Structure 1
Amino acid sequence: MKVLMILLLAITIHAAAGGDPTDGFTEVPLKPSNIVLQKPFNVPLDQRYSFIDGVHRMWVYSDDKPYSPDSDTQPRTEIRIAGLDYSSGVWQFEGHGYVPKGTSGATVAQIHGASHGETTLILRIYEPGEMRYYDTLHVAGDLYDTWFRLNIVHDVDGGMVTVFLNGEQKFQHHDEGPGDLYFKCGVYAAPADISHYMESRWKDIKIYRK
């Protein structure tokens, strides 16, 4: 009996240590109006985006136009989580992503807004399926042609961003200061070293807060 109790205690401690990243958070319900698409301004949406069986598929080409005629940014097809901007507290993005082999130099998820610069977090995919923080620090590998669960936790007051893949913490970094902050996912071409065709797919997108 004593041995059984010790084993149960060990299992409980292990489960608590490796708990789900959404533990302690409250889900913020998403409405259709919270999902705003950005795509090259000169092509119809259905030429860069589809939504079938709950999967948002987004793609873009390296020679596409930016999202508006007066923008000088790189081409993108992205979901912007609108109406849930934040500037304090602890917020979390969750989504299941998929990046086909060949996509390289593409931002697939980000936190837009910061005190210093335009973004707090950029997660890019490079050959051979490596996820990086911007174009430098390694986050994870072997992500081509497989569904992965991505959780991004932003503790604004604590100044920290934490990235989980498939429930496992993979990366943590100081943020760039508070600002008008919001989450995005999709494909957004990096300034250099990009493939001609870039694609990512997303499903089960959720937002949480504490």
Structure 2
Amino acid sequence: MSTLFFSKAKYMSTIIHLIILVHQSLASSEPVDPTQGFVSLPLNRSYYHIQKPYDLPEDRHKPHSQTSQTKPRTEIAIQGVWQFEGYGYVPAGTSGVCIMQVFGASPHATTLMLRVYNGSLMYYRSQVLVDEIYDRWFRLNVIHDVDGSKVKVYIDGYPKLEVDGRGGTSHAFKCGVYAQDDDSFYMESRWKGLRVLKKSD
């Protein structure tokens, strides 16, 4: 299983490390299994790509394109609908960063953003989902029902958020680091056990 480390030092560099780990499955005692009724899809290069500086290796900071007006970021973008699952870790000190999003909406750019501010995991910057997210592995499940226009977020199996969708016809799940307002000098998130799932027939 792969663990992805996404980090960003403002005005300095963007670093992504891919480290192959062999480990035992995480013991779970979650009260809810959000993946029930879903089947896992293959997660290969046909389903995802890594967004990084447009003309440099992943360890250098630059926008994605010469005309990009976005803030610094390094993210993995996974095509597909229905459900994202991954185990995330945010080191203390990382703040003002989006660690996971559902890209695509209309007229907005995103359907969902999960941001970290001073140790709290938040829905955009309007609602706290977890008070203390630093320095621990957590299981994140995001269910995006495009047809039903609903988004649900689970942390460690606990339902934390249910909101309406925001339209759009093309979507992607993204995780990593993407600078937001009041971003810290250095940012990092780590991910492993990434899956994308669809409703079973």
TM range (shorter): 0.7 to 0.9
Q: What is the match of residue 204 of structure 1?
A: 193
Unpaired stretches in structure 2, ≥5 consecutive residues: 1-30
**Inter-CA distance 35–178: structure 2 relative to 1 (3 Å threshold):** closer
Say what the alpha-carbon RMSD is for the aligned residues: 1.7
Greater gyration radius? 1
TM-score, normalised relative to structure 2: 0.79
**Offset from partner CA, 1:184-209 (integer Å, 9 cap, x none):** 0000001x211011110100100011
Q: What is the match of residue 77 of structure 1?
A: 74
Equivalents in 1 of 2:63, 2:140: separation in Å?
A: 26
Which structure shows the bigger proportion of residues in strand conformation? 2
**Offset from partner CA, 1:150-192 (integer Å, 9 cap, x none):** 00001112211010000110111111024201100000001x2
Query: Percent identity between the aligned chains?
Result: 50
Q: What is the match of residue 98 of structure 1?
A: 89
Equivalents in 1 of 2:178, 2:198: separation in Å?
A: 26
- Residue type of the partner of 1:168? Y
Equivalents in 2 of 1:176, 1:137: separation in Å?
A: 17
- Residue type of the partner of 1:72? Q
TM-score, normalised relative to structure 1: 0.76
1:132 to 117, 122, 131: 122
| Mapped contact 1:65–1:74 kept (Cα < 8 A) | no
Q: What is the match of residue 193 of structure 1?
A: 182
Aligned positions of 1:1-210 closer than 5 A: 18-41=31-54, 43-45=56-58, 47=59, 64-82=61-79, 84=80, 86=81, 91-127=82-118, 129-190=119-180, 192-210=181-199
Equivalents in 2 of 1:39, 1:120: separation in Å?
A: 22
Unpaired stretches in structure 1, ≥5 consecutive residues: 1-17, 49-63
Which structure shows the bigger proportion of residues in helix conformation? 1
